Structure 1
Amino acid sequence: MKILLSALYLCCVLSFSVTAQTPTLTQAWESDTTLTTPESVLYDAKNNVLYVSCINGKSVPENKESFVAKVGLDGKIQQRIMTPGLNAIKGMGIIGNKLYTASFFAINEIDLATGKVVNNYTVPDAKMLNDITIDEKNKTLYVTDMRANSVWKLKDGQLEKILEGGLLKNPNGLFYDNGKLLIGNGEGILYSYDTKTKDLSKFAEGMGTEKSGIDGIESDGKKGYFVSEWRGRIWHVTPEGKPSLLLDTIDKPMNTADFAYVANKKMLFVPTFLKNKVVAYKVN
């Protein structure tokens, strides 16, 4: 009897532990709807502000009307950086005082002080650049080319293709974490690429379809990750690679694109693409 009770107690404790570690989301606010076609949100810790890349129309090469919005953590829009020529911009990253955006065929380098483009790095044979991530030294930028099934590196002004084809299928979301790149594939598989050994392996799966792959990836600050599926889902992935669904807005319908997570505030900031707004969620 004592053995049976001990076993039941252990099962209850383990069950509670798993349940307790699975976060939940509660909506905190939503912005107005002037953030036209928001694709990516980036948190600038230095200035405690959000940057939102707005495609501002269709995601096509002919669209050169994109802009970046500066948004407070309360959802109020502070400024629109209307830099001429930004081409259907998506992912973003910050190195020093420069903001980098992924246009269709080039990486734009924008001076945050002036809002002007100071460099354009054209990626050879690019088909549609998408997400951007920066390494821990703030020196190396990585970007996915979704339609070319490739990943590029930009360092010291030099571009280098580091991955192409193979397991990659419409790669979108990208996140650098401790020497590894997490790559969100088009069919909902999350791959891990070791930047030193060049090994590419499956980390998690089941978070999308061929028509709606992984868009955003962020660390949860506890060796796990938050992951978004463009069509309208947000997942939590444990350090062991097990996904749990946290949010499903597909039926609304409302997209969940390349979000930002601010760990010290336990907040997710989600761009809704066709709904033209950012929605903030408290992580419980």
Structure 2
Amino acid sequence: MKTCCTLLFFIACLFNTTYAQHKLTKLWETDSVLKVPESVLPDTENKVLYVSNIDGTDPWGADGKGAVGKVGLDGKIIAVDWITGLNAPKGLGLHNGKLYVADLSNIVVIDVNKGAVETIIKVDGAEGLNDISVGDDGVIWVSDSKNKKIFRVENDKASVYLDNLKGPNGVFMHDKTLYIVDNGGAYKVNDDKTLTLLADGMEGGTDGIENIDGDNFLVSAWAGSVWYVSPGSKELLLDTKAEKKNTADIGYDAQNKIVYVPTFWRNSIVAYRVD
């Protein structure tokens, strides 16, 4: 019996070592002056965070109240309303000095240096554009959570890339491969448009997905959790559901290993070091 207990203890320790390898350490939290922040994106070159502010009680309201704000890498608010007049803006993507913002049925393109809207790309058939990722080739990938689709946008022309999904949100183009989160699961999208499951069971509205390294990802669920996901496994790093503190569309600084978490109704951004 003693030998058996010792063996079980060893197995338990091994399990914990294998499945509890990572943690989040809180670095700072902004003042609660943002306006329902849904997405955050680090721009390390310009040493700033871009934040989409829905601003309002309707997360899908076409009311012109939305904005993009700017926050310093130290958590100090630079501007809550840097770019205004948007409609419940959500996902953010950055490529060659242009910031791409999901804005219901449009993608708003902002010239970062000028601090002004350059153009608006209409995505025909879209109703609830949510997350955005821009590949190295400039192709834009954007989810439509209301119509359960993923759009591919090239040269300002949008086409449906995936449909018949259950609840798509986060998209991330990494190393010429698209990754998405859909209805509690994280998936790799294969060249033939089939999906390979990385991990599921992440309830509460899977929201953002960011690459850590290799095949390792961070996934947020809106209700209040952040997960470390590898093929075939997941590890809970953060659980703020009891605090009723949301974890919306995360942004990740791979160089400094910092994840930025928008708290939605709590109107702040929280920075954590990923260890």
TM-score by length of 2: 0.90
What is the aligned partner in structure 2 of residue 133 from structure 1? 133
In 2, Cα distance between the equivalents of 1:174 and 1:19?
25
User: What is the identity percentage for the equivalent residue pairs of Structure 1 and Structure 2?
Assistant: 39
What is the aligned partner in structure 2 of residue 206 from structure 1? 201
Q: Deviations over 1:178-235 (max 9, x none)?
A: 222211112x0112212x3322232210101xxx321011111243111100000111
What is the aligned partner in structure 2 of residue 36 from structure 1? 35
What is the aligned partner in structure 2 of residue 190 from structure 1? 186
What is the aligned partner in structure 2 of residue 94 from structure 1? 94
Q: 1:242 and 2:233 equivalent?
A: yes
In 2, Cα distance between the equivalents of 1:15 and 1:191?
25
In 1, Cα distance between the equivalents of 2:32 and 2:17?
40
Secondary structure, aligned partner of 2:83 = coil
Secondary structure, aligned partner of 2:70 = strand
| Shift in Å, 1:264 | 2.2
What is the aligned partner in structure 2 of residue 155 from structure 1? 154
Q: Report the RMSD for the aligned CA atoms in angstroms.
A: 2.2
| Shift in Å, 1:247 | 0.8
Unmatched runs of 5 consecutive residues or more in structure 1: 1-6
Residues 252, 14 of structure 1: CA spacing in aligned structure 2 closer, same or farther, 3 A cutoff? Answer: closer
In 2, Cα distance between the equivalents of 1:81 and 1:96?
23
What is the aligned partner in structure 2 of residue 77 from structure 1? 77
Task: Give the conservation status (yes or no) of the 8 Å contact 1:184–1:213.
Answer: no
What is the aligned partner in structure 2 of residue 61 from structure 1? 61
Secondary structure, aligned partner of 1:36 = coil
What is the aligned partner in structure 2 of residue 278 from structure 1? 269
What is the aligned partner in structure 2 of residue 48 from structure 1? 47
Residues 63, 25 of structure 1: CA spacing in aligned structure 2 closer, same or farther, 3 A cutoff? Answer: same
Q: Deviations over 1:112-166 (max 9, x none)?
A: 122222211111121200000111x24111000001010011112221111111x
What is the letter of the counterpart of residue 202 of structure 2? M
In 2, Cα distance between the equivalents of 1:155 and 1:253?
39
Residues 89, 119 of structure 1: CA spacing in aligned structure 2 closer, same or farther, 3 A cutoff? Answer: same
In 1, Cα distance between the equivalents of 2:33 and 2:145?
27
Unmatched runs of 5 consecutive residues or more in structure 2: 1-6
Task: Give the conservation status (yes or no) of the 8 Å contact 2:67–2:85.
Answer: no
In 2, Cα distance between the equivalents of 1:93 and 1:156?
16
What is the letter of the counterpart of residue 269 of structure 1? Y
In 2, Cα distance between the equivalents of 1:214 and 1:256?
10
What is the letter of the counterpart of residue 194 of structure 2? D
In 2, Cα distance between the equivalents of 1:62 and 1:88?
7
Task: Give the conservation status (yes or no) of the 8 Å contact 1:232–1:253.
Answer: yes
Task: Give the conservation status (yes or no) of the 8 Å contact 1:91–1:258.
Answer: yes
Q: Which has the higher strand share?
A: 2
